[in-house]
Structure 1
Amino acid sequence: MNIDDIAGRAKGIILEPGKEWPRIKKEQKSNMDLLLHYALPMIVLAALTSFIGSWSLHLVVYQLAMPLVSLVVSSYVINMLAGKFESTENLNNAFKLVVYAATPSLLASIVANLSFLLGWVGLFGLYSIYLFWIGIPVMMDTPESRRLGYVLLSALVIMVVQMVIMAVMAPSWGWGLLAG
């Protein structure tokens, strides 16, 4: 894990996504490498700040599981959808797209988890949608005419994946209607 590499990539994808996506596409990084050396450090840091902000081990487990499972499952589903949108199926590119587009969400959760007073910082995570929008034609070779549908369906898939994870984890926490 190289903090400078993570910071450099995060800065590049957030500030200059149009230049960064073609660089990302050319890189030869495995999906495991992306998870372990890029996403996981941010996910662990978000889980730690969640513990500092809430002192809840349940929330820490959720903060670790939700992004990891969501990134992996969403990448597979987005790759499987590629053919429906005249795009190129390539799991590694789908993985890069999902992981790097999630950068603002991952970074925002680090700060937002410290206190409920900082929850508004989570809105920065919405920038991930824009990064996904910019990245999908580059990473998945999506034609402009199919881009909107692919992005919308991908967003829906990501939300459903996250709701399923929450529903699976909620019974052990006793969360209202989800626990019933």
Structure 2
Amino acid sequence: MGISVLENLQIVRSVIFKPKEFWNEQKQHKSPKKNLFFSYFVPLLAVVAIAVFLGEFLKNNNYYADFALLKSLREILLFTLQYFISVFFTYHLMKTFGGVKNKSSARRLVAFSLTPFLLVSIITGLFQFLYVVDALGLYSFYIFWVGAKELLDFPERKFEKYALITILVNFFIFSFLSVSLSKLLTAYL
């Protein structure tokens, strides 16, 4: 059993509008209630995929379902790879900067900090002309920073370096994956 839709919506609202309180509450729970990837991340990703499919399908006059399907699969692949690669780097960079390694915290940081990117992808998937809204996804970095400060155990002088390097690595990964998968999609067509 996973998290219900209503619980996911409450989590999304808390992450976006009250990140400090949300992370403080997460600190009280040493481990997530259920598998975070399947109970929280995948349902949001499914909504993104549906939004991208519908946006692309309805945009074209010819209603090419295959291109819309490929574009939604690209989003699924992009965010799934981003999640797992980001968890890997977030976790392994902890020790490098003198922190205590905590895989559960790394998973929570990545899953919840990707929430703004997922929400923005829903909007831009449905309404592609609103691509400027993509800039709002950068709020993810603030959510990551606040969460890392709350959840992770670091010497004070090393935390800023860890958070900054991890955010830059994750941003580079997202950019690289996004461009690569877009090139792959256009090469297929």
- Would you call these one fold, judging by a TM-score over 0.5? yes
Q: Which has the higher contact order (CA 8 A, sep 6+)?
A: 2
1:153 paired with 2:165, answer yes
Identical residues among aligned pairs (%):
24
1:10 corresponds to: 12
**How do 1:87-166 and structure 2 match up within 5 A?**
87-166=99-178
Show CA shifts across 1:129-166 (max 9, x none). Answer: 11111111222223332222212211232133334534
1:95–1:164: structure 2 CA closer, same or farther, 3 Å change rule? same
Larger C-alpha radius of gyration, 1 or 2? 2
User: Quick one: distance in 2 between partners of 1:107 and 1:160?
Assistant: 20
Matched residues in 2 for 1:155 and 1:94: separation?
Answer: 13
RMSD: 2.1
User: Gaps spanning 5+ residues in structure 2: where?
Assistant: 58-67
Q: CA deviation at 1:36?
A: 0.9
TM-score, normalised on structure 1? 0.86
Q: Deviations over 1:1-57 (max 9, x none)?
A: 411111111111222211111211333327x71111111111111111111111322
Q: 1:61 to 1:131 in 2, by over 3 A?
A: same
Number of residues of Structure 1 aligned to a counterpart in Structure 2: 175
Instruction: Tell me, in whole angstroms, the C-alpha distance in 1 between the residues paired with 2:140 and 2:181.
Output: 25
Q: 1:80/1:49 Cα in 2 relative to 1: closer, same or farther (>3 Å)?
A: same
